[in-house]
Amino acid sequence: MLAPMMESPLLISGLMEFGVVNHPEAEIVSRKVEDNSIHRITQLGAAKRTRQLANALLNWGVKPGDRIATLAWNTWRHYEVYYATAGIGSICHTINPRLFPEQLEYIFNHAEDRMLFIDLNLLPLVEALRDKLPHLQAIVVMCDKEYMPDSKIDGLICYEEFIAPHSESFEWPQFDESTPCSLCYTSGTTGNPKGVMYTHRSTVLHAMGSLHAQALDIKADSVILPVVPMFHVNAWGIPYAVTITGAKLVFPGAAMDGASLWELIKSEEPTLLAGVPTVWLGLLNHLDSIGETMHSVQTVVVGGSAAPLSMIKAFDEKHDAFLLHAWGMTEMSPIGTVNAPTKAMLAMPKEERYQQQRKQGRPVYGVDMKIIDDDGNELPRDGKAYGRLMVRGPWIVNSYYKSDKLATENGWFDTGDVATIDSHNTMQIVDRSKDVIKSGGEWISSIDLENVAVGHPAVAEACVIGIPHEKWQERPLLLVVLKDGASASEADILD
């Protein structure tokens, strides 16, 4: 028996239209790529331009299912491309400009992108590859006419001229919520990158799941600065989630150094920052160098890799900001767990709380997880046993793009991580399965060693790798980068 409830598809266009009706004056602030100046627009203004872009895409000949690529930073124009492409039933394919040229070529051609939206300073990447991209029919440069560059590529289109002739009115088509909306590729550290195709349903559910207090806690009065790039798993879904709530969105453009971020933080007063540890290391070092502290920031979300204990302490003790670990991956849209503060955690003595903050947290609603041994047996959630981390849920990949093989085992996806889960269902990554060092029958976590090393006041960055050893099979080798002007001996680091 089926219950007599309405059938209403979960679509990306619905997020934008909900935002326009409920939060038309919500602000989107961007640092412009062209000249580093600040651009401001309301959610209503961005929606009008998005409808113009949708009309322009259809007029050009974009069809449902076409892949529309972006090589772009975090700006209001990239936000418009997100919504316009998905809204008409095509697929927004964000590409990481930091990949090697061979990987870029592979990704463009594997996706068969018909059109590319690109930021001005990334154009040289495509100039070097243009003759190797047979599917690409048009390149739109995301700038005003006055900034259009001289280029080796003929027929470049100016973004503002592309959308200008078209109406601000558009009736978004309705279609099945399982229709693809965006495409992201894994980094390809082993073999070619793999494509993960997200659906409207998975993306909307992920956005809704990230909002509540035990996730990213995004509210109408939040001010969000996503430094995580929009080409990196859709900026962790933040451009979709923020649109629902009407929070102020602050885009850093191409300038993600400590000084540029501090300038935005001072002027726009974000309450939540989101990015990877390397970015926050640069920001903390800059603030130390100028003797400044952040006052508006309440939460710093860290993903991509584990933050060292020294970083957790620095944000708390110097800036009164809570470092919030989140964990996930491209195959998970990406959020899987968030180590959101609980009443019990906040009541802990600081040193004890810091240790708890190092963990990756508990699953958000919609994600199930377990750890298993090499024989597939589920291991206890006692915080001691560690094994392969398996996940499942409505926004987790079932198979890769253009692959006939399932990416899952009995309905579970193997993350490639080795983890523990405690009695409170809090998960902590021990290592990547391919990175864990097996020495004399003992597993050594490279993450733990790196975190301790980075705690040394002279150390800027640290990396641990496994090297062959005659007796122990494998032993860890620590590679260290010192801070500018700092000095330390081998004995200092080892101590």
Is 273 a residue whose pLDDT tops 80? yes
Do residues 104 and 265 lie in contact, with contact meaning Cβ atoms separated by under 8 Å? no
pLDDT tens digits along 358-397: 999 999 999 999 999 989 999 999 999 989 999 999 999 9
238 φ, ψ (degrees, to nearest 5): -60, -40
Do residues 306 and 447 lie in contact, with contact meaning Cβ atoms separated by under 8 Å? yes
pLDDT tens digits along 117-171: 999 999 999 999 999 999 999 999 999 999 999 999 999 999 999 999 999 999 9
pLDDT tens digits along 10-58: 999 999 999 999 999 999 999 999 999 999 999 999 999 999 999 999 9
Domains of the chain: 12-357 (3.40.50.12780), 437-495 (3.30.300.30)
Do residues 107 and 67 lie in contact, with contact meaning Cβ atoms separated by under 8 Å? no
Q: Which string of b and e fits 22-44 if b means at least 16 CB within 10 Å?
A: ebeebbbbbbbbbeeeeeebebe
- Name which of 286, 228, 288, 226 is nearest 258 in CA terms: 286
DSSP element (H, E) containing 157? strand 157-158
Q: Taking the model in full, what pTM does it have? A: 0.90
| Alpha-carbon span 23 to 44, nearest angstrom | 8
The CA R_g of the chain, rounded to the nearest whole Å, is 23
Do residues 237 and 335 lie in contact, with contact meaning Cβ atoms separated by under 8 Å? yes
**Residues with catalytic roles:** 186, 331, 438, 443
Q: Return the pLDDT at 351.
A: 95
Question: DSSP state, 74?
Answer: B
Within 8 A by CB and 6+ apart from 362, the residues are 214, 337, 338, 339, 340, 424, 425, 426, 427
The size of the chain, in residues, is 495
Q: What is the pLDDT of the chain when averaged over all its residues?
A: 94
Q: Between 313 and 470, name the one with better pLDDT.
A: 313
Span 406-423, average pLDDT: 94
Cα–Cα distance list, 387 to 4, 375, 378, 417, 426 (Å): 44, 10, 9, 8, 14
Q: Return the pLDDT at 438.
A: 67
Q: Return the pLDDT at 477.
A: 92
Q: Which string of b and e fits 316-351 if b means at least 16 CB within 10 Å?
A: beebebbbbbbbbbbbbbbbbbbbbbeeeeeeeeee
